[in-house]
Amino acid sequence: MSLLTLVQKAAVRVGVAKPSAVMAATDSGTQQLLEFAQEEGDQLSRFGDWRVLRKEKTFTTVAAETQTDTPIPTDLGAFIDQTFWNRSRRERIYGPVSPETWQKWKATTTFPITDTFCLRGTSWLMAPTPVAGHTIAYEYRSKNWCQSSGGTGQDAWAADTDTGVLSERLMLMGLVWRYKQAKTLAWEADYEKYLFEVNQALAADQPRKILNMGGEKMAFGFTTPDGSWNL
């Protein structure tokens, strides 16, 4: 479903005239629907870690505190916690630490013995200073919730032929309740249905792991059950 089709379907549902174009439209009604479509895409993408938006990032370390091999992707929406690993050493990377902790380390010249990182603007700082050539990997959520007709990721609608990366059904439902709310129409029932469907979609987006209350331990991909073992 393209942006044009999305807005046309929403127009039918809220009882207004279907536009023949969206980005080039000059009437306030279509412009308002476009704004709601932008808002819906941005907020829906941040509702959770949607599988379709998850990406992997790898970079190679340099022997310096500040890493320069493009460690932060340009389409970063949010980091996914507990996914940071030094693959070369097969060890977890801890962090990000707070600016307060980082500056305390700098002032006392006391740094951790395991790889730890801190973020400052677009810079990725590591302590202790790593050796060059190690592969760092992590996962993140992309902010590109729509794409051009050619498949180029975008974080905002730019043309009538753009398509959504996330569920267009959910985006349509979100567009409808937002429009009704702005027009002081009855929107609460639409919003409750939308919220229910979003939560259902997130729950079904990926399998859920089984929680083992016995304290299963994982080390380098091998699972060791708890208990006493004769060696």
* Domain ranges, ordered by start, for the chain: 3-49+166-204, 51-142
The C-alpha atoms of residue 36 and residue 42 are separated, in whole angstroms, by: 10
The mean per-residue pLDDT over the stretch 83-88 comes to 96
pLDDT of residue 40: 97
Q: Is the peptide bond before 99 cis (omega within 30 degrees of 0)?
A: no
- With bands split at pLDDT 50, 70 and 90, how would you rate the model's confidence at 112? confident
Encoding tokens for residue 156? 């905002």
Distance (Å, whole) CA 221 – CA 108: 36
Tokens of 97: 């630490």
Which carries the bigger pLDDT value, residue 217 or residue 143?
Answer: 143
Instruction: Give the model's pLDDT for residue 153.
Output: 96
pLDDT score, position 207? 74
Q: Tokens 């393209």 identify what position? A: 2
Q: Does the pLDDT of residue 231 top 80, yes or no?
A: no
CA 40 to chain centre: 15
Mean pLDDT of the chain: 91
Q: Does residue 157 surpass a pLDDT of 80? A: yes
Instruction: Identify the burial level of 209 via C-beta atoms within 10 angstroms of its C-beta, where 0-12 means exposed, 13-18 middle and 19 or more buried.
Output: exposed
Through-space distance between the first and last CA atoms of the chain, rounded to whole angstroms? 62
Exposure string for 84-101, b = 16+ CB within 10 A, e = fewer: bbbeeeeeebebbbeeee
Instruction: Please report the pLDDT score of residue 206 as a whole number.
Output: 78
Residue closest to 195 by CA, chosen among 60, 77, 50, 47: 47
pLDDT at 152 over 80: yes
Q: Are 126 and 113 in contact (CB under 8 A)?
A: no
* In contact, 197 and 170? CB cutoff 8 Å: yes
Q: Which residue type sits at 58? A: T
pLDDT at 57: 96
pLDDT, tens only, 45-80: 999 999 999 999 999 999 999 999 989 999 999 999
pLDDT per position as a tens digit, 175-215: 999 999 999 999 999 999 999 999 999 999 977 777 667 65
* Model pLDDT, residue 221: 52
- Three-class SS of residue 174? helix
Global confidence as pTM: 0.83
